[in-house]
Each structure stands twice: as structure tokens, then as C-alpha cells.
Amino acid sequence: MIDVGANLTHAAFRADLDKVVARARAAGVAPVVVTGTTVEESRAAQEVADKHGFYATAGVHPHHARECDAQTILVLRALAKHPRVVAIGECGLDFNRNYSPRPDQEKCFIAQLELGIELGRPLFLHSRDAHPRFAEILDHHKVKKAVAHCFTGGKEELHAYLDLGLYIGITGWICDERRGRHLLELVREIPRDRLLLETDSPYLTPRDLRPQPRGRRNEPAFLPHIAQTVARAVGRPVAEVAAETSRNARTLFAIDEPGSSSAAKRPPAA
């Protein structure tokens, strides 16, 4: 199985990342796409990907959009040349916390969309309480190759993204009986060729996972648990869901077969 979004550069993994990776592989989870959220974290994500035979994204999260300028985009462009960097992002809009002003968020988001389109890279997208403005920007820029990371929205938002041609990333949020119950029905409306699975580690530990991990730290080894929940919701065998979502990840990110040590197969950077 492929975990398309894990924050393995997070401080929570600093002491035992090698063991975390080993547990993921033992659980059948590999490769992992390591998420970049700032220039520094994107560099670190690339280093983790190099060391463990994983892949990475390079981008600036909307929380850090106030720090994004022309030089930032130049650095992301350079990072995107690395063969294991397979997407631009995590980028988007977060109108829930507004850690960066909304105008800064939109400017940084659009700059990364334009970079991804120019380089022919898929986009790893973040949206929280930003619909419909988020969809309007994507539609205006004719974004096609992208995943709506950690989808937690409603029916209208889901179909807006599907109409735009996006892939949909489902996390352990679907295992939360308080907040994620609606996803058990909505996931049935996601076409088989658009569904992706991710942990968003160390966040969003499945609430129904037993026993709960120490400190409630999520990790890629728990992806099969999420897959089982999705499989029950859609009424298909978990092996089928695992195969389909992994195939979708390889298609979107143009990556090799799980476990391969060769470089990503994608167009050269401009």
C-alpha cells in the first residue's frame, strides 16, 4: 500500500524514524510520500525520501504563506528537479486558523499552482474552511493533476473537487465516530480511480484503533486500519481497495512500483 501523505520530518519522529519506517514496511506500507510544508521541511522530506526509498513533495503550507516570496518559488523549482520529489505542495488555503492573512495565502497558493502546471507536476492540496474559494482558484487555473489531501468536507465540496478532476485523499478522519461519520457514506461516491489513502502522520490517529499508540502518535503502519474502514464503507474487499488506491497513487505521482529503489518516472524539470 502507498501512504500518499505522511509528515515524517515532524519532531515526533526524530528519535525513532528508522523504526517507524521498519514498522510501515512490515505492515505492507511502502513507499510513503513525505510531505513538505516549508522550504526547510521540503528539503528534509527529500532527504528522508532519499534515505528510505520513499518520495516527497515540495511546497509551502498556507499556515506559512506570509513567508512565501519569489525566492521561495525559485527554491521550490530547484527542489522539484530532484527525482524523488513527485509533487508541489502541501499548498492551498486554510481559512480556519488564518495563521497567514488570506491575501498572502491566495498569492502563495496561486504561485505554487502555476509552478506545478509549468513543471507538469501534480499538486498536493490543502483546504480547510476555504470552499468555495479554493475550488474557484483551481477552476480558474485549470488544475487537473492534484489530490485534495485529507478530505473532510461535505457532499457539495466533494463533488466540486470531483468535477475538477481531483483525486481525493482519505485519512483516519473516517475512523472518527464524532467528526468523520459522514465520510463513511461520502466515500462511496468517490470513483474507484480517484481514491487515495493517507495517514497524515503524526496527526489524525484513527480513534477506533486498539490499542491506541503511545502519545496517540499516528504513523504509516496504521494505513491498513484506515483501508479496512474504507473497505467496509464501500463494500469491497480490503485487498481490492489497497490495490486500487496504490495504483491511483502511482498514476497521479508517476512513481515506480512499491518498494522499488529506482527513481521516479516523470518529465524532466523545466
Q: How does pLDDT run across 160-192, given as a tens digit for each residue?
A: 999 999 999 999 999 999 999 999 999 999 999
pLDDT at 269 over 50: no
Q: pLDDT tens-digit profile of 127-136?
A: 999 999 999 9
In a domain, 138, yes or no: yes
- In this prediction, what percent of the chain has a pLDDT beyond 90? 93
Nearest to 222 by CA among 243, 205, 207: 205
Nearest to 63 by CA among 99, 9, 108, 106: 99
In a domain, 212, yes or no: yes
In a domain, 268, yes or no: no
Task: Look up the pTM and report it.
Answer: 0.94
Q: What pLDDT does residue 257 have? A: 53
Q: pLDDT tens-digit profile of 31-58?
A: 999 999 999 999 999 999 999 999 999 9
pLDDT at 150 over 70: yes
In the predicted model, what is the mean pLDDT of residues 230-252? Answer: 98
Residues spanned by the domain of 183: 3-253
Q: What pLDDT does residue 268 have? A: 41
- Domain count within the chain: 1
Q: What pLDDT does residue 263 have? A: 41
pLDDT at 209 over 60: yes
In a domain, 263, yes or no: no
In a domain, 265, yes or no: no
pLDDT at 252 over 90: yes
In a domain, 258, yes or no: no
In a domain, 270, yes or no: no
Q: What CATH number is attached to the domain comprising 22? A: 3.20.20.140
pLDDT at 259 over 50: no
